[in-house]
Amino acid sequence: MNTPNIVVCIKQLPSSKTVRIDKKTGKLVYGTEETINPPDRNALELALQIKDKKGAKVTALSLTSEYCDAVLREALAMGVDDAIIVTDKIFKSADSILVANVLAQALKKLDYTLIIFGENGCGIPYASAYTGVRVAHKLNLPVVTGVCDAQLDENEIEVLRKTDMYNEILKIPLPAAISVRIDANKPRFLTARNINLAYKREIKKWSAQDLIDVSKIKTAYKVVNTNLRFEKSACMLFTEGDASTKVAALMKFIKNRLVIQRL
């Protein structure tokens, strides 16, 4: 059996401290993207677990608008064999369609058996979601979301998929793409030695120009405006009125603050 090639696509997120609204355009602006999208750690962990069990070559692939390799160093420290970064200014205002197109073109250059994504969380800018599904569609691959565990065989992969309502076990022929849930596993700890070694390794740099025709970019999202819903600041105290008025005001505050319930 040939060694399978696993590619893990990692999203870089800007640190939330640098985020603000541009008053003129109504768009969010933020500093350098430097933290890893949390579920992508679980995606890396799943890839490395497969590597530990069966042997595999694991490659981490990431797109950024400005060169920043902290996230890929982290992946290298976790134990991936190869790291590739695609950098271009056009990603500054990229939407999921553009990102998926570039990722698909980059993946075409790699020899892959399995592509792993982290499932999108809620706190992501341009939450157009499910980039993995789009990439897989571009590459004409079967894709399964909500994956918690995977067993890689020669020609197929068996995955455990979890949703809100049910668990299921699915078999997918290879090559395939999966996206991993944030509660799928516990990402491994980084040792000081591995972090140190990670900074001595080489990261391959690609440019978007090599992959797509930048003059013919297709985007489908226009940001009309962005509003700050609340400042994360000092404690909001409810002191006016009697007990029931205070409780009502508190409940209103809580409802506004929470990430939306689906139904």
Partner 1 sequence: MKLKVIPEKCNGCGICVDACPFASIKIEDKCAKILDTCTDCGACVDVCTEKAILAEEAEVPVYRNIIVFTTLDDNKYPKGVENLIGIAHELAARTNERVEVVTCCEDARSCEKTMDMLFKAGAEKAYLIEHKFLKEFQPEIYAKVIADFVKSKKPKIFLMPATYDCNELAARVASILDIGVVLNTTALNIDEFEGHLLQTTQIFDAQYDATYLTDGRPQITTVCVSALPQMTFENEARGEIEVVKPELDLSEMKIKKIKSTSLEKEPLTLKNARIVLCCGRGGRNNLNNLNELARMLDAVVCGTKGCVDAKVITDDLQVGITGESVAPDIYIACGVSGAIQHVDAVKNAKLVVAINKDGNAPIFKIADAGIIGDLNDILPAWIEYLKSSRR
> Under rule CB under 8 A, which residues in 82-101 are in contact with partner 1?
95-97, 100
Among 19, 29, 90, 203, binds partner 1 (CB under 8 A): 19
Q: At what angle do helices 70-78 and 38-54 cross, to 10 degrees?
A: 30
Q: Do residues 144 and 116 touch, judged by C-beta distance below 8 A?
A: no
Q: Nearer to partner 1 by C-beta: 59 or 120? A: 120
- CB of 118 vs partner 1, minimal distance in Å: 15
Site for partner 1 in 132-161 (CB under 8 A): 133-134, 137-138, 142, 144-146, 158
Site for partner 1 in 192-251 (CB under 8 A): 213, 216, 219-230, 232, 235-239, 242-244, 246-248, 250-251
Among 29, 129, 148, 182, binds partner 1 (CB under 8 A): 129
> What stretch of H or E contains 20?
strand 20-21
Q: Which of 216, 200, 199 is nearest to 208 (CA)?
A: 216
User: For residue 84, which amino acid is it?
Assistant: I
- CA angle (255, 261, 263) in 5-degree steps: 125
* Separation of alpha carbons 65 and 34, rounded Å: 11
Q: Nearer to partner 1 by C-beta: 1 or 235? A: 235
Q: Nearer to partner 1 by C-beta: 200 or 262? A: 262
Query: Look-up: residue for tokens 């819903």?
Result: 229
